[in-house]
Every structure is written in structure tokens, then in C-alpha cells.
Homo-oligomer: A and B are copies of this chain.
């Protein structure tokens, strides 16, 4: 089914014949609301109400069951009957040829085990009959296509045609969104309440809407997603491939997962919000925090071209709002354009002497339409200008409507994005309406306008991002798998640095030379060979090695080595009586550098999450870390490194030495491969990884891993 170009979704979005099973004339009933919405929207196909107890519904001939309908095939069945009856009703619909079903009714998975069983039965019927199912437990969907006019929902308001698609996991939000949209003259292409997502979820809809010629931007409201890597792979192409469709997402609701006690640094920091942030970032989905932002940005994305660069011109008739917009412009990663001499000359010619002809251009308070027009023409014609923020505050001479009217033709003719803010004391609503209806996004505050421009630019950067050349990693997967298999065979699920380093070495990590020493002589020989070393007790019974006197560092000579060996064995024996003391892990001391931490935490739904940050207080107190879902590419590794606040410390800020970032990126890619290829690893901390100055590489100084096993011992933090 998924091989079809339309994913089988055309039957739900573009049916010719629709049966409403459970249609009703009863005031206030959902069955009535759905049926009336279909009829009132002037649907271009045919709707058949199905109701065993009525001969007609709202004046339309009704049928006792779907089979009674005197039509050869029904494309879409909308079902509003008690949950328990839905599997049977779906079967009847299938017999009548339906390839799409929308189940509005509630009473499924959301109510517990019994409901989940019903949902599974319903889904099984749909799968058997190659039917795509929307819902259950949803508001329905709307397709505003003027040739079709399908309102298959019980929303109290309808959507006007436009270019924004909205996918919502909350039916309640749908109603609010339609309300909000109407007041801002926003139109929708499709509007889908996904409900429990038994079959059709966000991913299929995104694929479908990406190909929908009516849809220019997708707004997403989600509470939980159920795909990790597949989501990233698919959506990355939608948002950043050919003919890209921007996606804005508002994610609400957290799971309790993040609150579980975690034993590693990575485990404790990698909650589900971090997973979603990573998921959206890696997919090129723009995550917003409020419904307001969702609308603000959708308006801009649906109507404006992407800016080619970040050089913005601001035009205003009042200084204060110009300053506000300037501040936000700069904060949003944009900059004020420097005008070409021709532009400055044109502004000088058309504007009065008191005007400011530099950016932000101030046409001053007594400007009528003509000054605004001349200023806008001039800056839009300037090659140094990538977009315009247009501000108007109504003053006594201001021509609100006339000024609003000049913007759309100039803006659309220029190929550059223009956003506007008409604000002030007098009523600007007519002006705002002219703008909105003519595809110029309008914002109440100049800050919001500038922020929307910043969002457009951020999306441009995603589209135009450079793809760094991938690195060939030298991986010996077999060795790693063997270490893991042996450990699990022995019933161990905690791996310390002895086995951990073997696995890391197999994945190309620069592990420091080390050797197990069973006696003082072997320890001395190792020091002679490696130079200054760290000594760490090896015992399956000791997790907190430092606490029992099991660690010594900077052992420099064979003599020191012999002494240290016996002292450690003795002290550890006293502090951990009965422990099996096997010997000492002798490891070359790492050179100086900046300490970072790398980690893995595997999430049930989304797979392994990678973590990177600076070690010590930076991770403990500032939580200054970045996350990505594995697998990642070179781009992802670089972004992980560059996106922490402390990045300047690695990058040679304030007279520091620049660290070997290439070596660090390679380690992060190795980490990604390790996480992807070894599903047994559920948590891992490499802490610290020491990054030496540029050209000198890096070194793993300590690591620990937790494997998936029946008995999960807590890791030592």
C-alpha cells in the first residue's frame, strides 16, 4: 500500500462518495455535526447518511446500513458509533469498497486495555482490506480544495482555503486553531485531527502533504511521536530536499520517562524533551514554543519567499518601533543591510531632509503612502537587501489603507520576503486585513515581524546548509561484538574501562596504551614502556575504584610502579574485604587538553541518543550539552560540537589553544556507529575524553557502559 504514490491517502482526502455511519439529526450530537459540516461545506461529491432508526437525516435520505446505499462503491466511511461496534462497521464498509475510514468515536486505546483491544481489532480489519484509517478518537479532517470542499469533521468552525496544512494530535486544539486562524485571515489547505493514530500518523501525512500542490507549509501539533530514525530520514528530505516544505512543530506533553532514575551523566541528562529537540533539529523541523509563534511563522512561511541572505532593511515612520525591530533583527541572527549608493540617492531624493535615509529608514511621522512606496521600492531594488520589515504607526497624516495596498505588489514583484507590523493608537485592522488577504504577513508587534523574518532566514540556512564530506571510519565490529557477547554470557552488564576500552578501540577511539598487570613486575615493565601511568584496581567486586584507594596517578618510574602496585592491592584489600582483586590496569597518562564527555542513552521508541559536552562542572552544573539521535553524519557531529555554549573554550577563545576539533568530530561519528551497530549498549559515558591542541588528537581517559541485561546494576556515577 505504501508503494502507492499517494500512500492510499487520496481516498480519505479526495473521496467522491462518503458514508456517514452514525449520522443523526439530534441537536448537539456529533453525528449531526459531522453530517451538517459535510453538507454545509457544499461538498462536490455525494454524502450518504447511515442511520438504522431514521429514514432521513436533516432532510437527506438515510440508509439503514452501508450496504443499503444504492451506489456501487463508497470511497470513504466516516464512523460515529460506539467503539465496540467499529470493527464490524469497518468490515461492512470494506465490503462496500471503502478504501478510507475516519473513526471519530472515542473509547479506544485512550481508555485502557479494553479499548486498546478494540482498536487493534479495528486496525486489523483496515489492514486486511487495505483501508487507510484516520483516528480513532479524532475530530476528522478538512480538505479546502475549492473543487472538492470536504469538511469531514465535527469542528464548529470551518477552514478557509489557503496554503497551510495543520496536523493535530489534539482535537481540542483544532477548534481553537480554526478560531485563531479566522481572526488572522489565515487559510488552510488540509486540516487533520489524527486522534490515536492507529494507522495514519504524522509521518504518512507529512509525506502526502509534501506532494500536495496546495500545501506550502505544515503546522504540526504533537504530544508524542512513534518514529525515530525513520522520521528523521523522511522528514529531512521533506524540509530540506528538492522543492522543500517547511514544517513547524509545537510539542506539548512530556512523558514520565525522563524522570526515571538514571545512573550515568548521559542517562540523567537525556530526557524525552531532549530526544524531541534532537529529532526536530535533525529533521529540519522548526520547533516553536507557543501557539502564537506557530501562527506567526506559518503566516510567513506560507506566503513569503526564502531570503537569500540575512541583510534586512527596516522601514518605519517612528523611531521607537524601529529600534525594537532592530534589536530583534540582530538577536534573530539577521543584520541590517548596508544600502548601495543608488539606494541612498533614491531615498535622499524622495524623502524629506528630516528623514533617516540610513537603515532603519525612517520616513517620519507625517509620511503619507507615497513616501512609504518610494522607500520600499528603493530598498527592494537594492542587491544588498535580502528582506524588508515594514512598520507603520498611525499618525494624523498616515494613510493606513493606501499604504497597506502598495506593499503586496512591490513585495511580490521583488522575490524578496516582506513582513509588516501596523501598530498604534488608532485602528489598523483594515490595513492588517488588506495585508493578510494579499499574502503579506502582518504582526501586532514589530518584534514579532522581525522574529518571523529571522525564522525565514533560519530555514533558508537549513535548506542551503553545506554538507561536509563524510569521514571513513575504520571499525572492527567483530571485536566489539565479541566483547559484548562474552560479557553478557558471563552475566555482566556493567563494563568498566578494561572491556570498555577494547570496544572503543575497535571503533577507532584513541584509547591510551594500557595493560593488565597481575604482579608488581608486570606493572613496572608497563611503566617503563609507556612512561607516566595511572594505576587502577581491577576487580569485578569494586565499582567505586577511587573510594577504596584503588586508583593512583602519575606513576613515573619502575620503582614507583612496584611500590604503587603493592600499596594499592593492600589498601583495596583492607577497604573491600573479600573482593576478588585480580590486579592493576596500568594506563599511560593522557597529555593535557580540554576534558569533554561523550555519551549514549538508548530510548525505547527513538533509539540511541548521543550526548556531547564539556566535562566536570559544565555538565554537572551548567548542563551545557548537545544531543543527536544516532546515526548522524559529519554535519551532525560538527553541529553537536558547535552548539554547546562552551564551544569557544574548544575553539581557542581568549588566547586559549584551539583544540583538535577534527579528532573530536571523528570520535562523535565513531560513537554514532557504536550506538547504531550495538543495540545491547543502553548507556555509555566516555568521561573524560581529553581533546589535545589542534593536530594532536585526543584520548579516552575513562569510560563505562551499561548493557541490556535481565539484571540492571546501577552504574557508578
Contact = CB atoms under 8 A, between A and B. Distances in A.
B252 A445 contact: yes
Interface of A is mostly: loop
Nearest to A647: B621
B649 A617 contact: yes
A428 interface: yes
Contact of A290 (B290, B354, B653, B654): B290
A396 B111 CA distance: 11
A106 interface: yes
A396 B107 contact: yes
A484 to B, nearest CB: 32
Contacts of A445: 252
Interface in A413-447: 423-428, 444-445, 447
A10 interface: no
B621 A106 contact: no
Contacts of A396: 82, 106-107
Interface string A252-280: 11111011000000000000000000000
Given A176-B444, A252-B324, A620-B654, A318 B110 contact: yes
A646 interface: yes
A634 to B, nearest CB: 25
Interface string A98-138: 00000000110011100000000000000000000000011
A156 B427 contact: yes
Interface stretch (A17-25, A167-175, A574-582): A167-175
A425 B138 contact: yes
A258 B170 CA distance: 42
Interface in A277-295: 290-292
Given A426-B30, A445-B252, A646 B622 contact: yes
Nearest to A140: B425
Nearest to A254: B327
A223 interface: yes
A648 interface: yes
Contacts of A172: 423-425, 428, 444
Interface string A343-367: 0000000000010000000001110
A645 interface: yes
Interface string A302-313: 000000000000
Chain A interface extent, by class? 35 or more
A420 to B, nearest CB: 14
Contacts of A409: none
A391 to B, nearest CB: 12
Interface string A143-180: 00000000000001000000000000011110110000
A139 interface: yes
Interface string A564-584: 000000000000000000000
A510 to B, nearest CB: 26
Contacts of A137: 425
Interface in A50-66: none
A111 B621 contact: no
A156 B426 CA distance: 10
A410 interface: no
A621 B256 CA distance: 33
Given A617-B646, A622-B622, A649-B617, A425 B323 contact: no
Contacts of A82: 396
A368 to B, nearest CB: 15
Contacts of A170: 423
A185 interface: no
Contacts of A112: 354, 364-365
Contacts of A423: 170, 172
B252 A447 contact: yes
Nearest to A322: B256
Q: Which of A107, A395, A617 has the largest count of B CB atoms less than 10 A from its CB?
A: A617
Contacts of A648: 621
Nearest to A327: B254
Interface in A647-692: 648-649, 653-654
Contact of A427 (B175, B292, B354, B646): B175
A326 B253 CA distance: 10
A320 interface: yes
A297 to B, nearest CB: 15
Interface in A393-408: 395-396
Contact of A111 (B110, B291, B321, B395): B395
A228 B199 CA distance: 59
Contacts of A106: 395-396, 425
Given A254-B323, A323-B253, A107 B395 contact: yes
Contacts of A624: 622
A253 B622 contact: no
A139 B425 contact: yes
Contacts of A176: 444
Contacts of A653: 620-621
A323 B173 CA distance: 18
Nearest to A170: B423
Interface in A624-639: 624
A633 to B, nearest CB: 28
Which 10 pairs between the two chains have the least Cβ-Cβ distance?
A171-B425, A111-B365, A254-B327, A253-B324, A172-B423, A172-B424, A621-B648, A256-B323, A106-B395, A107-B396
19 contacts: A107-B396, A110-B318, A110-B365, A137-B425, A156-B427, A170-B423, A171-B425, A172-B424, A172-B425, A172-B444, A173-B444, A223-B320, A253-B321, A253-B447, A256-B323, A258-B327, A290-B290, A621-B645, A621-B648
Interface of A: 30, 82, 106-107, 110-112, 137-139, 156, 170-173, 175-176, 193, 195, 223, 252-256, 258-259, 290-292, 318, 320-321, 323-324, 326-327, 354, 364-366, 395-396, 423-428, 444-445, 447, 617, 620-622, 624, 645-646, 648-649, 653-654
Given A110-B365, A137-B425, 15 more contacts: A106-B425, A110-B318, A110-B395, A112-B354, A138-B425, A171-B426, A172-B444, A175-B427, A223-B320, A252-B324, A252-B447, A253-B323, A620-B654, A621-B645, A621-B646
